[in-house]
A and B are shown apart, each in its own frame.
Chain A
Amino acid sequence: MLKNYLKIALRNLSKQKGYTFINTAGLAIGMGICLFLVLLTQYAVNMDKHHENSDRIYLLADAITQQNGNVLDVGISPSPWGNQLKQEYPEIEESVRLLDNSGNVRYGEKILRQGITYVDEGIFNVFTYSFKYGSSEGALSRPNTIVLTEDMSIRYFANENPVGKTLLVNDEAFEVTGVLAKKHPQSSFYYNALASFKSLDENDYPAMNDWRSHNLYTYLLLQEGANIENLQVSFSDFIAKNVGEEYVDRYRPFLANFEDLYLYSNLYGERWDSLDVSYLYIFSAIGLLILFIACINFINLATAQGMKRAREIGVRKVLGAYKKQLVFQFIAEALILSVLAVIIGVVFVELALPWFNDIAEWSVTTNYLSNPFYLFSIAAIVLLVGTLAGAYPAFFMSAFRPVKVLKGDQASESGKSWLKTTLVVTQFSVAIFLIISSASVENQLSFIKDKDLGFEQSDMYISSIPGISTKQSMETLRGVLFKIPGVSEVSFSSNIPGEESGSRTQLYPEGDLQEGGVLINNYSVDPYFLTQFEIDLVQGRDFSIDLASDSISSIIINEAAVRKFGWEEPIGRTINQRFEGKDPKDYVVVGVVKDFHFETLHTSIQPLILFSDPSRYFDLSIKLRNADLEPLTAQIGEVLKTFNNGIPTWHYFLEDDLADEYTTENVIAEMLRYFTFLTLFIACLGLLGLVSFTVINRKKEIGIRKVLGASIIGLVQALSFNFIKLVFIGFLIGAPLAYFLISEWLKSFAYSVAPGIPIFVGAAIITMLIAFLTIGYQTVKAALANPIESLKNE
């Protein structure tokens, strides 16, 4: 019997090619999108879970009550906390600190500026890393030992095993004790090299023994079954005992589960990649909606198709088929179609993944064998879609009365009209929703691109300062660079505006904040920096090359800092920097700059302090003018190479790099673009199918109308009007939804532009036009047909 069903299903499918195409294509797209999202979600949810103890690893975070009463959740903590916690609480098995730094790293003739993370030796007990060379055993237990990542190892040693060799980090010798294997793709954070924390002393790291300066990351490994709640409650005792009674209300440390950081964290100072979990929800919802409309397409077409199958159903019933058997037959057919669709859908996924991995910088793969959940999803989607979409037509068709259908009468109705209405309205609501959302996202992204960030970004060549540079050698370099025609400005700084927040230091400005101090972003820039980046000075003066004291005790602050500190007259005010056990140091404000967007547009402009400390200059910015960029870039590269022992330095153009700051947003825009296109495609397929069935159904009516003198235009209008009306209702549902969701999304930006009327009107026009074109051909054809043909009895 099953063979019989299969046979008849396949013959029907190959006979009704148009119908099969519409249904399979629609379902395949819907299923493909859903499976694609299953993989993405799975990837995101499993981020960092390859670490064996990931469920027991916690980041020590702190809710700091600031002077103004606001509470700031930070992901950083003071250096001594972790180890003390471990000693006091037996449920804390291990505690490791991560302190990011950078330095000039030299091996033989090769000198490069490298990021280095200082970590406690317990790091390999907490996180799971495999080693390419060496082993985790005691790798960082001695001072001046360093474990390299594979990338860094290759940079210095090519494919040689570097274990036992010595690297000079800022002229200090470090023994390479291991090389980590390639980074696991699902890691939300990364290092370049891990150096032993024991290598640091108070000169390198003044805040080492400061109990109040939040400046590094502490990860704790808890015992199995440790009670997190109790532990967090007891932290107030810990603060009272170790930091001071008066700090109990100020610092409320808490534990953030390592596994949750990627999707759920919203902490100040995140050093890890993160993804707002709501993106997953939104895209899953869109995926399900697309699948849903593909299913309604299927239901409608199959039901309409039922008219053609009426005779078969009648015959089967006369020959003794039970209703149940017919229902089973049609569901089996739906399942077959569903299998066909999922095969195509899976191919779609395979094609889409490389594209997605490329733009999102993920590495999602489909390991069918090692990913039972994906296989299960494929099976589930087939069964779900097959049975759910197959059920309605199955019950509808199996209820045909053989007495009627065998008389040669066509089954009188082709499904309930509410179903058709729902179909068209839902499809176009979703399509319009996506068009508007997608256009609004693009709108916001171009707004970001065009937004005046408050500093110059075009033709800005950025590189690292080559070699070990002293103030002297930097001046020499500047002189050489200026000899190149086309170079108009050169400056050195610790950071480049627009990309990095700079480092954060606890500082104590004069006034209300003097007591508790405040965590402030800061840059170090040379006296040419503000001019080159065209950052306006609103008060006071710029740093001066002639005043040696500027690099030691002068600072420039931004307007946001002036507001934060509550200063009426900022020039001449002082800001104090102090670490426990060290002499405090005062800095005098010599100038105020206009606020500029030194961070991304997700955040509003925060207070910023500019120092002028040459020992912190890492970046070199060169402003180019007009000339042909390519030869000029090559020429600069050659010069920098000579300053870097013949090793080429990296470089990029600021404008390009700023665009990359919005990867997530770009990925979303790109995905929305495709989803919109596919949804429109499915919606049009559905509309096309429906219109052709309607036209068939109304062939006789059209014939009679024509005989009675109806005009062709009148007929096309009569046939199209209903559909266009439904598309319009779709607009009324989709547009407000899109507006609501986009407004929510825009809240993630401190600076945004609301979608304007043109987007809504445009979406309406585009959809109507596409719908009309879809309907047009069929209706015109029907209206032009010779009425004799349609009125003749079969």
Chain B
Amino acid sequence: MIQAKSLKKVYSTEEVETTALNSVNIEIKEGEFVAIMGPSGCGKSTLLNIMGLLDNPSDGEYHFLGHDVSNRTERERAQLRKGNIGFIFQSFNLIDELTVFENVELPLLYLGMDTAERKEKAEAALERMSMMHRRNHFPQQLSGGQQQRVAIARAVVANAKLILADEPTGNLDSDHGNEVMKVLAELNEQGTTIVMVTHSPHDADYAMRVIHLFDGHVVTENMQEGFHV
């Protein structure tokens, strides 16, 4: 599903050049659950952004679903992203002015689906995350765990093949965090590929494979015990 070869990402300002990623090679197959770990500033988020087609690499090749997408325009990336990739953020990033239902429905709007189909899919996703009873609430009226479940519902509503999660439990207490991790594991069991950036070894235990980054390099790749690709 994902093949990255010699990925490089350099951020430059007028005076300083910062290399966020350097010669990163990664391959992720469909159905995998991969955790990316490493200290702050090691390039985890940069890698996730490139995988999620939010950013272009400075150098190297990146293939997503068989397409070479290393150097696409913003519009082309958005096109490919829609319906294929779902995002989950540490800070949830729900739109405060929209209700739970409207937030979940949003990706479908951008896919140009008709009202009835949107309703059906959004409700199914909410049902799946046990959030139907909250469909008319606004994000601020929910607990953090509930907000993240809505965010997950939004990520899966369009049947995304890949879910990218950036520290999904970072803003949650451990109970809610576990709940979210269970949901992600379930999704993975149902066939969704998941790539998750995390600081938490506990969360990383849910993954099949853990990639450690340090200063922009992949240092180790561990296959978790009990998982077989």
Chain A interface residues (CB < 8 Å from chain B): 1, 4, 7-8, 11-12, 15, 311-312, 314-323, 325, 402-403, 406-408
Tell me whether B75 and A323 are in contact (CB under 8 A). Answer: yes
CA distance A15 to B95 in the complex (A): 13
Kindly count the residue-residue contacts between A and B in the assembled complex, taking CB atoms under 8 Å apart.
65
| B110 and A8 within 8 A (CB) | no
Nearest CB to that of A323 among chain B residues?
Answer: B74
A311 CA / B110 CA spacing, docked (Å): 17
Q: Across the interface, name the chain A residue whose C-beta is closest to B155.
A: A319
- Is A403 in contact with B49, judged by CB distance below 8 angstroms? yes
For residue B38, CB closer than 8 A to chain A, the reply is no
Partner of B54, one of A4, A318, A322: A318
What is the bound-complex CA distance between A321 and B96, given in angstroms? 17
B14 within 8 A of A: no
B138 vs chain A, min Cβ distance (A): 9
Are A321 and B95 neighbours in the complex by a CB distance under 8 Å? Answer: no
Q: Residue-by-residue, is B69-95 near A (CB-CB < 8 Å gives 1, otherwise 0)?
A: 000001100110111000101010111
On whether the beta carbons of B109 and A4 are closer than 8 Å, the reply is yes
Residue B110 contacts which of A314, A325, A403 (CB distance < 8 angstroms)? A325
A-contacting residues of B (Cβ < 8 Å)?
45, 49, 52, 54-55, 74-75, 78-79, 81-83, 87, 89, 91, 93-98, 102, 106-107, 109-111, 154
Return the chain B residue nearest A312 by Cβ: B95
- Point out the residue from A319, A323, A403, A408 that lies within 8 Å of B106, measured CB to CB: A319
Closest to A11 in B: B97
Nearest A residue (CB) for B91: A408
The answer on a CB contact under 8 Å between A320 and B78 is: yes
- Given A4-B102, A320-B82, CB of A406 within 8 Å of CB of B93: yes
**What would 14 A/B residue contacts be, using CB atoms closer than 8 Å?**
A1-B109, A4-B109, A7-B102, A11-B97, A311-B93, A316-B95, A318-B54, A319-B82, A320-B82, A322-B75, A403-B55, A406-B89, A406-B91, A407-B45
* B106 engages A12 (CB within 8 Å): no
**Docked CA distance A320–B78 (Å):** 5
CB-contact partner of A322 in B52, B78, B89, under 8 A: B78
A residues within 8 A CB of B74? Answer: 323
A408 to B170 Cα, complex, angstroms? 13
B111 to chain A, nearest CB (A): 7
The CA of A764 and the CA of B59, in the complex, are separated in Å by 59
Q: Which residues of B contact A408 (CB under 8 A)?
A: 91
Tell me the bound Cα distance from A316 to B87 in angstroms.
Answer: 11
Query: Nearest A residue to B99 by beta-carbon distance?
Result: A7
B98 pairs with A402, CB closer than 8 A: no
Contacts of B106 in A (CB 8 A): 4, 315-316, 319
Q: In the docked arrangement, what's the CA distance between A319 and B102, Å? A: 13
Q: How far is the CA of A321 from the CA of B82 in the complex (A)?
A: 8
Residue in A4, A314, A315, A320 whose CB lies within 8 Å of B81: A320
Least CB distance from A312 to B in Å reads: 5
CA distance A318 to B160 in the complex (A): 13
Q: Complex Cα distance A786/B82, Å?
A: 45
Residues of B near A402 (CB, < 8 A) are 54
In angstroms, how far is the closest chain A Cβ from the Cβ of B74?
A: 7
- Whether the pair A8, B109 counts as a contact (CB closer than 8 A) is no
Of all chain B residues, the one with the shortest Cβ separation from A4 is B109
**How long is the Cα–Cα vector from A316 to B110 in the complex, in angstroms?**
9
- Chain A neighbourhood of B93, CB < 8 A: 311, 314-315, 318, 406
Residues of A within 8 A of B94 (CB): 315
Chain A residues near B45: list those with CB within 8 A: 407
Q: Would you call A403 and B95 a contact (CB within 8 A)?
A: no
**Chain B residue nearest in CB terms to A10:** B97
Q: Which residues of B contact A403 (CB under 8 A)?
A: 49, 54-55
Q: B98's closest neighbor in chain A, by CB?
A: A8
Pick from B49, B83, B89, B102: contact of A320, CB under 8 Å = B83
> Which residues from chain B contact A312 at a C-beta distance below 8 Å?
95-97
CA distance A314 to B93 in the complex (A): 9
Residue in B97, B110, B111 whose CB lies within 8 Å of A15: B97
Q: Is the CB of B110 within 8 A of A319?
A: yes
- What CA separation (Å) do A8 and B94 show in the bound complex? 13
CB distance from B89 to the nearest CB of A (A): 6
Q: How far is the CB of A65 from chain B (nearest CB, A)?
A: 74
If A12-B97, A15-B97, A317-B78 are given as contacts, then 14 extra A-B residue pairs at C-beta distance below 8 Å, sorted by A number, are A11-B98, A311-B93, A311-B95, A315-B93, A316-B95, A317-B54, A318-B81, A319-B82, A320-B81, A320-B82, A320-B83, A325-B110, A406-B91, A406-B93
For A317, the chain B residues whose CB sits under 8 A away are 54, 78
Chain B residues positioned under 8 Å from A311 (CB to CB): 93, 95
Cβ distance B59 to chain A, nearest Cβ, rounded Å? 18
B215 to chain A, nearest CB (A): 20
Task: Report the bound CA distance from A318 to B77 in whole Å.
Answer: 10
- Nearest CB of chain A from residue B63's CB, rounded to whole Å: 20
With A320-B107, A403-B54 as contacts: A7 and B82 at CB distance below 8 Å: no
What is the distance, in angstroms, from A28's C-beta to the closest C-beta of chain B?
Answer: 24
Q: Are A8 and B97 in contact (CB under 8 A)?
A: yes
**A309 shortest CB reach to chain B, Å:** 9
> Do A7 and B98 touch across chains, with their CB atoms under 8 A apart?
yes
- Nearest CB of chain B from residue A411's CB, rounded to whole Å: 14
Once the chains are docked, how many angstroms separate the CA of A700 from the CA of B1? 45
Nearest chain A CB to B145 CB, angstrom units: 19
* Nearest CB in chain A to that of B154: its residue: A319
In the assembled complex, the CB of A406 is this many whole angstroms from the nearest CB of chain B, namely: 6
With contacts A7-B102, A320-B81 known, is A315 near B75, CB below 8 A?
no
A403 vs B46: C-alpha distance when bound (angstroms): 9
If A7-B102, A403-B55, A406-B89 touch, whether A320 touches B97 (CB-CB below 8 Å) is no
- Contact residues in A for B95 (Cβ distance below 8 Å): 8, 311-312, 315-316
A8-B97, A12-B97 known; A320+B91 contact, CB < 8 A: no
* B107 surroundings in chain A (CB, below 8 A): 319-320
Closest 7 CB pairs of A and B: A320-B82, A320-B110, A11-B97, A319-B107, A312-B95, A8-B97, A315-B93
Measured between beta carbons, the chain B residues less than 8 angstroms from A316 are: 95, 106, 110
For A12, A319, A402, A403, the residue with the greatest tally of chain B CB atoms inside 10 Å of its CB is A319
C-alpha gap A325/B106 in the complex (Å): 13
Q: Which residues of A contact B75 (CB under 8 A)?
A: 322-323
Kindly list chain B residues whose C-beta atoms are within 8 Å of the C-beta of A8: 95, 97-98
Cα A408 to Cα B45 in complex, Å, equals: 13
In the complex, what residues of B have CB within 8 A of residue A318's CB?
Answer: 52, 54, 81, 87, 93
Interface centre among B79, B82, B83, B97 (most CB of A within 10 A): B97
Please indicate the chain B residues that have their CB under 8 angstroms from the CB of A325 in the complex.
Answer: 110
CA distance A420 to B130 in the complex (A): 48
For A4, the chain B residues whose CB sits under 8 A away are 98, 102, 106, 109
**Assembly CA distance A46 to B172 (angstroms):** 71
| A320 and B52 alpha carbons, distance in the complex (Å) | 11
